[in-house]
Every structure is written in structure tokens, then in C-alpha cells.
Structure 1
Amino acid sequence: MVTAPKLLRIGIMGAHSTGKTLLMRRIEMELRGLDIPVARAGRLGRRAALVPLPKMRHHTVDSTRWIIATGIADEVAAAASLGNDAPVRVVLADRACWDAISYYRAAQEWNNRTLPRAGSESLYRLAAAHDPYDLLLATVLDPDVPVRPKHDHDARYRTLVDHHTHALLREESLPSIPVTGDHASQRRAIEKALQLCCTEALI
């Protein structure tokens, strides 16, 4: 009997300019150094810029649905690209599917709008239908860290995204590891990811 290779999915979410992509790159490099097949899905911001849908503070149900669905599709494609030649394969989701809901909720609060029930519930169902992440990291906002030039500069919106990120994790009972900008915190997150992948590789 042939045993199917284990697929591990590690996701990250949090406000912009909190080190998500850099942390995922570091995890990716460490895994490659251990010869564990890994693919990183994401880069949605650049692609979203080409789609004529509202963004950031102006997110709507439709724009959020596009981000969730595109992110999930990217993760599926990334997993397929890894083949079946190793006992463990890893997909890194640079923006877990729940991340889009945090941005959407923050946009509604920023605009003093009430969340539309039907549309919001459809987004939650879409995210919940995706397979759970084996490890979910959630960055913590440090307001003293400057925002990268290409990102949104609205401090209030960025703070709202951070608030809704961690509130959403609690509300949906999604196990996660908070990651601050502190080097030790980031190193612990990387070690947790490596420990998970290496343990599964030995089973």
C-alpha cells in the first residue's frame, strides 16, 4: 500500500507592514535548507491591483470574496506543484484565507458601516470550507514600525486590521501563534514551523 505524502499548510495573517512576507521567506529558506519541498502562495496584493475591485479601506463583500477564493486557489496550485516524491510537502500561505475577512471587517468599521449579514456569512462559510491550517501565525502590530511606501498609510485602518485579526481568531477559535516584531518572537515562530515539518517528516 502506497502512503500518500503529508501536506502541511502554514498560514500567516495580520496588518500590513508587520513582517508577514519576510517571516514566510525565512521559513521557506529554512525548509529548503532541510530539503523539504515547499511552495509559497500569496502575492495577492500585486495581483489585486490589476483587478478593478475596491481595496483596503474600501473593501466590499465581492472584493473580499475574490481575495479569499484566489488565495485558496493559489494554495491548491502550490500543493500540486510540489509533486509526490517526498513524505512531507509544505505550502506557505502568505495571507491565510481568514486574513481577507479581517481587512473587510476593518474597512466596514473605518467607514462606520454595519456588516451586511448575508454577505458576511457567505465570506465566513467560504473561509471555513477551506482545510484548516496546520500552523497559523498572526503578526502583532507595532505602531512605531514605519509602513512600507507601497502600503496603505492610514494608521487608524492599520490598527483596525490588527484588532480584527486577533478578534477574528478568538471568535472562530482558530489556534494561532502571535508573532511580534521582536527577533526572539520571530525565531520562535520559525522554530515552531520547522519542528512541525520535521516531526511529520519522521512519522
Structure 2
Amino acid sequence: MTSSSQPLRIAMLGTHSTGKTTLLKRIEMELRGRGVTVVLTEQLGKRAAAAGLPKMQHHTVQSTEWIIAQGILDEANAAVQGADVVLIEHAAHTAIAYFEAAMAFRAETPPRRERDRLLTLASTQLPKYDLTFATVLDQNVPVDTNHEYDPAFRSLVDDRVHRLLANDVIPHQRVTSDPDSQAHAVDVAVQHCLKEALV
């Protein structure tokens, strides 16, 4: 698709139940309808839990490193499979946000050396992202009652996501719960991919 033969990568960040997966599936559907080969990497949290790792407010250095490493592997596998576009449900910095939020939730201070090491690992992925979107938590949008989310932790993750993006000056587009904001994000992603396909 691109002159470098590398797939385009569209990364998503945000706290849970803010529409990340829904948004990426809309982008996926639009691109597939235009003949673009798409791979969506997802369910890292569920796979981490299945591997016996702690999640949500119980995240540790080990679980965070596993999620970042597995995400990198998922992206590499998608590229090997010949994807034109890789849609990344959990950009590497999302794992850092969850880790920092978990530490704050438990009133613990993460070891500086370990936190710096994880952040360095996550930062190696930034140059690969062609577009980065970050969802914004809207407390007025009801959460699926099948999930027992701690609202305080959910807010902490949202805060850490946007703090990381600001502190590291990471170019991104904020996506709110407003339908127009979401439609704009889909259009930006699709148009960027179609434009790059012509390069």
C-alpha cells in the first residue's frame, strides 16, 4: 500500500468503555468496503487475564510489560500477514496509563527505574503510528452493567492517558462521545489511508 511496504498504523488510547473498539470497527468496515486489507489488534486485557496476569487497578510492572510486548508482537504479526492497515486498540502508552492509574489507585509509588523502563519500551512504538486517537471519558454515558468497573479507577486511567499524551507531546486527535466527533475521526482515518494508498 505504501512505498515502504510497511502497513499504516492507526493507534487508539483511552480508558475502558469509551468507544475505542466501536470506533476502530467503524474504521475497519469503511476501509474493507474500499478494498483495503485491515487487521484489528484487540483484547489484550482479556488475554492478559487469561494468562493469569492482574488487570485493571491490580496492574503490576510485569502485567504492563506483558501487554506492551504482546501488543508489539500483534502489530508485527499483522505486518507479516500483509495487512495494508493495522488498527491498534491499545496503543503502548495505554498500558503505561493503566499502570500509573493502578499505582495511584493503590496509593503506591512505582519504582522510578521500572516506570522509566516501561515508558522507554512504549515510546519505541510512537514513530510507527501514522495516526493516534485518544478517547475522552464522558461520565454521563452509561457503562454496560455487565462490567463491574470502579468509576474512580476509570477516571484515573483517563487522566493518565491525556497526561502522558501532553507530557510527551504526542500528536493525537481527541475523540469525545459526541457522534460528530466520532464521525470526524472515522473520516480522518479513512481519508488518510486512502490518500497514502495512492502514494
- TM-score, normalization: structure 2? 0.94
- One of 165, 168, 174 as aligned partner of 2:164: 168
Structure 1 runs of 4+ with >3 Å offset: 149-152
Number of aligned positions between the proteins? 196
Partner SS state of residue 28, structure 2: helix
Partner SS state of residue 86, structure 2: strand
The equivalent of 1:179 in structure 2 is 175
Is 2:68–2:92's contact at 8 Å kept on the other side of the alignment? yes
The equivalent of 2:85 in structure 1 is 90
Point out where structure 1 has 5 or more consecutive residues left out of the alignment.
84-88
Task: Give yes or no for the alignment of 1:146 onto 2:135.
Answer: no
The equivalent of 1:86 in structure 2 is none
Which whole-Å CA distance do the structure 2 matches of 1:177 and 1:93 have between them?
Answer: 15
Cα distance, 1:129 vs structure 2: 1.7
Is 2:13–2:135's contact at 8 Å kept on the other side of the alignment? yes
Which whole-Å CA distance do the structure 2 matches of 1:45 and 1:6 have between them?
Answer: 26
The equivalent of 2:119 in structure 1 is 124
The equivalent of 1:99 in structure 2 is 94
Cα distance, 1:4 vs structure 2: 4.2
Point out where structure 2 has 5 or more consecutive residues left out of the alignment.
none
Identity of aligned residues (%): 47
- Are the structure 2 counterparts of residues 103 and 193 from structure 1 closer, same or farther at C-alpha, using a change threshold of 3 Å? same
The equivalent of 1:109 in structure 2 is 104
- 175-184 or 143-152, which moves further after superposition? 143-152
Partner SS state of residue 128, structure 2: coil
1:38-78, Cα deviation, whole Å (9 max, x unpaired) = 11112112211211222110111111000000011001111
Which whole-Å CA distance do the structure 1 matches of 2:80 and 2:140 have between them?
Answer: 40
For 1:1-203, list aligned pairs within 5 A: 4-82=4-82, 89-130=84-125, 131-203=127-199
Is 1:56–1:152's contact at 8 Å kept on the other side of the alignment? no
Which whole-Å CA distance do the structure 1 matches of 2:121 and 2:174 have between them?
Answer: 24
Which whole-Å CA distance do the structure 2 matches of 1:200 and 1:102 have between them?
Answer: 30
